[in-house]
Structure 1
């Protein structure tokens, strides 16, 4: 297909229009995005609501494909409207231009993460409706704010709302990850995000003394223990080819604070660690291990969890999950190679799994250079249209369970 045909393709035009709306963090103004989505709903003749569970600057847009048996649990097709910041000088194309090169690569922040998925849902529903399709179950297509900054005023609040509860969601699709190879990524769980601040307190005095029980000694002991643990996880990942990044616990020192001048032993130091806990870890035992290291270091160490997600069980990928059975059958009929794994990061699916809702992360992007959160993020026009074809198969499979 020539680039000129891609440029004239209605679905490609819609995708590029969406990419040109700069819903970039922080302090996003979602007004233009909401108006764009209302226009899409009108063109598809779908009812649409805009609700504000997180406040008047945090809209959630809900399009509805109504089913024949609305009393059944519904299907949720979720995506987020916001994108991460850009460094324009690092891009070869303006990041909100949706430029398309001669090979059909469409450049823009959000082209992989994840504006593509939102409009691919709509493209698939457009084709299904044109063929006279009406699902058995209600299908809700939601566009939520602020996923890129944790979703606290987005999906987290939305999932608590009376509006959401009335939707009676039984299964959700959300974002997956770009795959550089033939197989597609599919996420059935996510690691737990912990951010831990340690304040090490100890004796202070002149730098020429060998004082005992200093804050620096305690810091060194605990940091060494966490680093040894980290090294063990690196080794596990290197030695076991069956493991993915999401199967191990990552530990990274991200902030250090303390000291006044070079010849003064300070009374305290503070450090922060970013920890992503594997779902196979006993979180209570892991926390106790960290506290034991602090006692071994000499005590008088304050521990503050800046962020501490609770354990949330994975979505089952077996015969007990009829939605998974139907989705896998659709993928098998399309001859897609699917790679189920634990998401190494965090998506809005965690808020749904916490409510007991089966949720899977899947973006129909394979054989594509990973550019999520990177400069020159792009998606090929052909790959975008392939994704619509995949959803044309997947959405009815789920909605007619």
Structure 2
């Protein structure tokens, strides 16, 4: 508790310097005004101490410099430089005095674990998860080199991974650095986990790691993982996510010459299935648009992503296929939904089948009830910082699904308010003031979560 009180006093001083409003941001008009207020805060003494960037930029906060260094590591799919990322993390562990464990879950795929031991090893641990890989880029559509980590005069940092999710990785590290520098100690052990392969499904990353003895040895009790930016004053927190189903519909029919009215063709039957699925899509879209209380994660989305078939203009193909990306809402009966898929195929005629390229069947929901100790600690710390939370279902998929599937409650949280959602987009960027505010937020969150009292699940 000594560490908790000390961290709280430090954060209260920081909040006083920021002059936060009910949303934890400066009292300025609108997003632009808030960012200008954050830049004023950055110029204050609390954020100038030792602020000499290693790349020679005077006045840059060292946390920002570290963030930009990490962004320059090219962990871009499909050939990410995982070795450079692991070396970077090993050096951070050495500098911070943290334990460092490397677990190779598949050849060339290493999970790196940085550990800050707690004072009570009998308690379950706090997991801070992030992934090291980033998605591909189309450089011709970027204003700046996506791996230069260019910072413009306004303070925006342009880089692939700026929002997804290298910002969170460095925020974890910098929050731990601050707390250790203040001499804080907490009952629960904190494990920072840096995993590969998330951007392509996590099949050679977290999916394998949660089945290994090294993961079980962590005694995970609760986890934080990635979220999304929020363009408003609020901060989004995700307590569940939709199940990704990647479905290929294959239709077979009579072949023939392109000049004839061939009966019972593969294309005709495939058209019926596609029409049924797109009709379902429109119903879900209208349901979302007609209810202002619904968010994207609460409905099932589907998109036609691939059409295949045919060998020549004048040949009616015997086989055609259509691929769909379904994101199934967590309250959907998955067995009934698969039966619906089967029904659409059967209604189209004989010779229409479907198979799965990916099928997630373990939708789990993390409690956001005030009686839940983990949620109470998380939301209570946010309330103390005057942060407005918007709990939602994540619309896509993250590694949290693997954690929840093995019984570890997880929240997706990337503290980026007043920020457009730009993950996977051209010119992905994050303002340095928003990034630094996120470090402050984690510096308040970690003491609260790592000090949750002993629970029955702790054994």
TM-score range, shorter chain: over 0.9
1:178-257 aligned at under 5 Å gives the runs 178-257=229-308
Query: What corresponds to 2:63 in structure 1?
Result: 11
Structure 1 residues 254-295: Cα deviation after superposition (integer angstroms, max 9, x where no partner):
111112333433222111111111112111111111111211
Match of 1:91 in 2: 142
> After alignment, is 219-228 or 257-266 more displaced?
257-266
Q: Distance in 1 between matches of 2:196 and 2:259?
A: 54
CA distance in 2, matches of 1:380, 1:371: 12
SS at match of 1:330: helix
Long gaps (5+) in structure 1: none
| Separation in structure 2 between the aligned mates of residue 239 and residue 294 of structure 1, nearest angstrom | 29
> 1:322-343 deviations in whole A, cap 9, x for unaligned?
1111101001111111111110
Q: Kindly report the root-mean-square deviation, in angstroms, between the aligned alpha carbons of the 2 structures.
A: 1.6
Contact map agreement 1:7 1:13 (CA 8 A) in 2: no
Does the residue aligned with 1:53 lie in a helix, a strand or coil?
strand
TM-score (norm. length: structure 1):
0.96
The reply to whether residue 60 of structure 1 matches residue 124 of structure 2 is no
Asked whether the equivalents of residues 73 and 81 of structure 2 are also in contact (C-alpha less than 8 Å), the reply is no
Long gaps (5+) in structure 2: 1-41, 52-57, 453-459
What's the counterpart of residue 36 of structure 2? Answer: none
Please state whether the residue corresponding to 1:52 is helix, strand or coil. Answer: strand
- Match status 1:38 vs 2:90: yes
CA contact (8 A) 1:75 1:399 kept: yes
Match of 1:261 in 2: 312
Given the superposition, is the C-alpha separation of residues 52 and 205 from structure 1 closer, same or farther in structure 2, using an over 3 Å criterion? Answer: same
Out of 338, 344, 347, which is 2:398 matched to? 347
CA distance in 2, matches of 1:265, 1:50: 54
Matches of 1:186 and 1:329, distance apart in 2: 14
Contact 1:185 1:338 survives alignment (8 Å): yes
**1:358-394 C-alpha deviation (Å, 9 max, x unpaired):** 0000001010122211111111111111101100111
CA offsets, 1:138-161, max 9 Å, x none?
Answer: 110111111111111111111111
Match of 1:334 among 372, 377, 385: 385
Task: Tell me how far apart the structure 2 counterparts of residues 341 and 369 of structure 1 sit (CA, whole Å).
Answer: 17
SS of 1:142's equivalent? strand
Matched-pair contact (CA < 8 Å) for 1:283–1:311: no
Q: CA deviation at 1:207?
A: 3.7
Aligned pair count? 400
Report whether the alignment pairs 1:388 with 2:432: no
Instruction: Please say if 1:25 is aligned against 2:25.
Output: no
Moved more, 294-303 or 157-166: 294-303
**Structure 1 residues 61-80: Cα deviation after superposition (integer angstroms, max 9, x where no partner):** 11111001011110000111
Instruction: Report if aligned partners of 2:364, 2:401 keep a CA contact under 8 Å in 1.
Output: no
CA distance in 2, matches of 1:85, 1:208: 43
Write out aligned runs for 1:275-294 (5 A). 275-294=326-345
C-alpha separation in 1, matches of 2:242 and 2:409: 16
Which secondary structure does the structure 1 equivalent of 2:106 belong to?
A: coil
Provide the rounded CA distance (Å) in 2 between the counterparts of 1:293 and 1:102.
55
Q: What corresponds to 1:49 in structure 2? A: 101
